[in-house]
Amino acid sequence: MFTALKKGFKALEHGKVGRFGNDVSTPYTRRLATLHFHLFDHAFLRGLWTNLDEIAPGVWRSNQPSPRRIERYAALGIKTVVSLRGEPNLSFDMLERDACARHGITYVATRLTARAALPAADYLALLDLFETLEKPFLFHCKSGADRAGIAAALYLLQFEGVPISEARKQLSLRYMHLRSTKTGILDHILDLYGRDLDQHGAMSVREWLQNHYNPQEATRTFKRYRRFP
């Protein structure tokens, strides 16, 4: 019985029951999507806590915005919103995409992960994307702690030329990021960049990703250090 209940709950969470959470085409399905957004994406926890911060002139990071927050961001002049959560065809993505369209904001979706070292091509594509965005722009993940943190660090390193010690602050308790968990792989990636700066001298983070970064090495050395299964 418990297994069946768990499967049913997961089906609801992933929008696999009717059109609960994966349709905003009618007032009724929009209400269902909004309910899904609050219950399964935990939007009710983000009512007051936004994790919003301007990391550079015209560049903002935050947690997952609601349609109401998108409206406020439009009033503040935000031109582009980037979701780092991909395009899962679920409530948070559909409501955000719809709200951006209604308020004249360009919406872009790409995908990062918080608990794994991605291939270099993924991080390089993010840097390429940042170069194309109209400012002011905002990027976000779900909580604004981990994926938004590594994206912010990479942005500051590549485009603002900040020292790595400063970039590391984007992955901190200030944003509710915990290095002691599996999301510490993101800190470890920056540590490896710092190690190679010490060994090879100055190089941009883009150059490092292209020529030195190895996700398999990052995963192996992080697991050995943290002793995760």
Q: What residues form DSSP beta bridges with 138? A: 60, 81
d(CA 94, CA 105): 14
Pair 135, 191 in one domain: yes
Sign for the CA dihedral angle at 191, 53, 113, 106 comes to negative
Pair 19, 117 in one domain: no
Residues 6 or more apart in contact with residue 80 via CB below 8 angstroms = 105, 106, 107, 108, 133, 134, 135, 136, 137, 138
- 45 lies in some domain: no
210: domain CATH number is 3.90.190.10
Pair 106, 2 in one domain: no
Supply the DSSP symbol for 175. G
DSSP H or E run through 152: helix 147-155
pLDDT of 73 > 50? The answer is yes
Pair 108, 199 in one domain: yes
- 48 lies in some domain: no
Please state the domain count of the chain. Answer: 2
DSSP 6-24: HHHHHHHHTT-STTSSS--
Phi then psi dihedrals of residue 115, to 5 deg:
-120, 20
Tens of pLDDT, residue by residue over 84-97, are 999 888 999 999 99
Pair 129, 191 in one domain: yes
Are 46 and 63 spatial neighbours (Cβ–Cβ below 8 Å)?
yes
- 49 lies in some domain: no
| pLDDT number for residue 46 | 87
- 216 lies in some domain: yes
| pLDDT number for residue 14 | 66
Pair 33, 109 in one domain: no
d(CA 79, CA 69): 14
| pLDDT number for residue 6 | 42
- 46 lies in some domain: no
- 110 lies in some domain: yes
Other beta carbons less than 10 A from residue 113's beta carbon: 18
- 136 lies in some domain: yes
- 119 SS3 class: coil
| pLDDT number for residue 2 | 42
How large a percentage of the chain has pLDDT more than 70?
90
Pair 77, 158 in one domain: yes
- 198 lies in some domain: yes
Kindly report the pTM of this predicted structure: 0.91
**Where in the sequence is the domain holding 61, given as residue range(s)?**
54-172+179-226
Pair 79, 108 in one domain: yes
Pair 139, 212 in one domain: yes
- For residues 117-155, b (16+ Cβ closer than 10 Å) or e, as one string? bbebeebbebbebbeebeebbbbbbbbbbbbbbbbbbbb
Tens of pLDDT, residue by residue over 163-218, are 999 999 999 999 999 999 999 999 999 999 999 999 999 999 999 999 999 999 99
Pair 10, 80 in one domain: no
d(CA 219, CA 56): 30
